[in-house]
Every structure is written in C-alpha cells, then in structure tokens.
Amino acid sequence: MAKLGRVIVEALVYHYGRDEVLRRLSHPFWFQSFGAVMGMDWHSSGITTSVLGALKRGLAPIQHEIGLYVCGGRGKHSRQTPAELTQVGERTGIDGDALARSSRLVAKVDSAAIQDGYDLYLHGFIVTTDGRWCVVQQGMNEARREARRYHWLSENLSSFLDSPHSAIEGPPHGTILNLADTRALPSRSASLDLLAQGPDRVINVLKRYRDQQHTSLDLFAEPEADLPHLHMPSHHDVRANDVELRRLHATLAAAADRAPTDFTDVLLTPGVGGRTVASLAFVAEVIHGAPSRFSDPARFSLAHGGKDGHPYPVPLKVYDETLRVLKSAVSQAKLGNDETLAALRRLDQQARALEHSATGRSFEQLVDAERAQSANWDGRTV
C-alpha cells in the first residue's frame, strides 16, 4: 500500500500539482476510493489509519522532492504532530509554529467545539512546501463501534469556527452540539458573555434546567447542504447495490478497448497482463476522476480486492504488476517521456465515454470469476 500510494500521489502531483493532492485527500468519497483501490477493506474504519500510514511511509523518501509532508498518525503519533510540523518548518522555511498551532486548533475543534460522541484517536496533517495543508482525523464511538472521519482543507479556510470542514463522514446520532457551525455564532457569543460574568450565573441556570428536567434541543441537527457526508453500510461484504454497475462495466470495457493499443507491453506479461490493465483503469480514475464519480467507493475494491477477502482476496501478482507499470510510467515522465501516463489518462477518458453504453457480466459473475482465478494470481487475505 505504501508503494502504490506513493506512485499514485506522484502521478497526481505530475498532472495536477500538490494542491490537488490536498483537495483529493479532503474529499471523503475520494479518500475512501483511494484506500479501496490500494486493497484496504473498502468500508472499514481502519482505512483511515492504513491510508495515512501508507502515505507517511511511502512518501518519506521523496517528501523533499515533491514538497509534500505527512505528519501525525494514530494514538501517540497524533500527539507528535506539532513537533513534526515544527521540524518541517525548519527544513523548508515555512512557518512551522503556525502550522503546529493550526494542528492543535483543528484537534480542539473536533474534540471540544463539536461534541458528537466520538473521541478522537487519529490526526493526520498533510502539508506542502507552500504552507497549504489538509487534515484527516478520526474519532471512535466505542458504544456503537463506529468511527467518524473529519476532513479539513486550508484552501479558502477563513475561520476555524465558521463551518470549517470540507467534509464529515459518518451518520449523525442523537444530540450533536456543533459550536463550529456558522449558525452557532450567537451561542459562542453568549458563552463568552457568561464566562465574563463568572461561574455563579452559569451554575444557577444549570440548576434551574436540571430541576425542570429540561430536555436539550437539537440545535444543529441538519447538516449543511453542500457538505459531503459519506455513510458506509455495516456489512463487510461488497454487494451489487454498493456499486454503480454502469460505471464498473465502463471501466472494464475501456480496459479491453484500450489494451491492444496502449498497453502492449503489459499484455505480454504471462498470466496477468489483461487483468493488470483492468486494475490500471481503476487507478486511472482515482488519478483523473471528478469528485462526482466517487459516490460508490466500493467499486474500487474491484481493482485489487480487499485484505479481508471482500470482494475477493488481494491478487498479489496483479497488484505487483500494476505497481510496476505505474512506477515505470512516473519514472519515464520525470525524464520527459509521459507516454504511459498519457495512456492512463486515455483509459479514464474511454471509461467515461462508454459509461452509458457498456454492458457486461453481473456483479456476482465478475466476483465469482475473480475468486476462481485467486490461486493463480496469488490471492491473499490478512
């Protein structure tokens, strides 16, 4: 995952620049699809830890070259984020102290200003040498055994307390207090006024509400309409209704259509050539796809399966071949020959063109065919 994540990010930087990597990571549907195409369980809360961990390991050797740094992580690693950002500042000349302050503020907002029953345990801070950043952090509700992910993007961020999130992933449960919502300004102002008057008035008000057995109101129950909310199902297996079948058929049809023209060398690989082109088609969409195309992240688990065996075990031979082709493409592009990377873009364009006309086998038949070949492709689960 570290190797594949690295080469996909390199391709994104090559085509669209560092800022686009931040925009993608701050979008919950793309983030989930990115993890799925790398072989992580498509809907697991562990996808956040795995993706950020893979990027931190994979990008570490080239972070100075591409100007992209991944800081923080899970548990004790999250608490080291400010120190890591200060070190990045010392190496690059950007204001590491200001970044460390932003890291603390983001964590404080999602743990104190937003009280939704989810305790933060993971904090990933991705920053560029231009000082722009995104944050991906996650909280866990132990009672419900559910996770919630919070996405931030520094681009166009004017305030840490005026609806600052680029997205929140997870269904709302019960009463959610969100003092970081734009509409909560009167509540924040009233809170400051109460603090200025000392504790006695606050205690008296609380006593009065307790005596009256007052039920708190859901002040901010309705999410903002333009904020993406990704709700994942509870089932582990990938089902047909989790996938946009027309898009899946288009991706596979594009792979079959473009392979003889653009991927001759891949087809010469014994045993996995044609199958690798299909995986490359999913990767091409992760690199070039518009946000609207990631509404069904489960579809990207069809690229390399999932480590939990859903929809099928990870075919290591195909995975390694996909990685080899991508690494070669990025290396050639750095030397001025972007023919293979251009071929990947054509693969994505072809899939979009075929979306309304392509047909093929049912979802169940596709999965059964993959499982039948699993042993030949060195399928593995963890």
pTM, whole model, 2 decimals?
0.89
347 plus 249 within the same structural domain: yes
6 lies in some domain: no
Residue 375 burial (10 A CB sphere; 0-12, 13-18, 19+): exposed
91 and 194 share one domain: yes
348 found inside a domain: yes
- Are residues 66 and 103 both part of a single domain? yes
60 and 121 together in one domain: yes
Q: Number of folded domains in the chain?
A: 2
pLDDT at residue 226, as a whole number: 61
Same domain, 345 and 207: no
Q: Which residues, 6 or more positions from 100, have their beta carbon under 8 angstroms from its beta carbon? A: 81, 82, 83, 85, 86
Question: Is pLDDT at 349 greater than 90 in this prediction?
Answer: yes
Domain boundary among 191, 211, 231: 211
Cβ neighbors of 363 (< 8 A, separation 6 or more) are 239, 240, 243, 245, 248
Regarding whether 186 and 48 lie in a shared domain, the answer is yes
Is residue 30 situated within a structural domain? no
Alpha helices in the chain (DSSP H): 2-16, 18-25, 28-37, 46-59, 63-66, 76-79, 81-92, 96-108, 185-196, 199-211, 245-262, 264-267, 273-288, 301-304, 316-334, 339-354, 363-373
Q: Is the pLDDT of residue 300 over 50?
A: yes
Question: Which of 158, 192, 211 is the last residue in one of the domains?
Answer: 211
Q: What is the CA radius of gyration of the chain?
A: 23
Mean pLDDT in residue range 124-141? 97
Q: Do 168 and 279 belong to one domain?
A: no
- On whether both 125 and 248 belong to a single domain, the answer is no
273 in the same domain as 343:
yes
Return the pLDDT at 365.
96
- Select from 168, 192, 211 the last residue of a domain: 211
Tell me, yes or no, whether 91 lies in a domain: yes
Same domain? 188 vs 61: yes
State the pLDDT confidence band at 286, using cuts at 50, 70 and 90: very high
User: Within this chain, do residues 206 and 289 fall inside the same structural domain, yes or no?
Assistant: no
Does a structural domain hold residue 5? no
Give the range of the structural domain holding residue 138, as residue numbers without chain letter: 44-211
Q: Is residue 159 part of a domain?
A: yes
The answer to whether position 39 is within a domain reads no
Both 255 and 191 in a single domain?
no
Q: How many residues does the chain have?
A: 382
19, part of any domain: no
What's the pLDDT tens digit per position in 199-241?
887 787 777 776 666 555 344 344 455 666 777 787 889 999 9
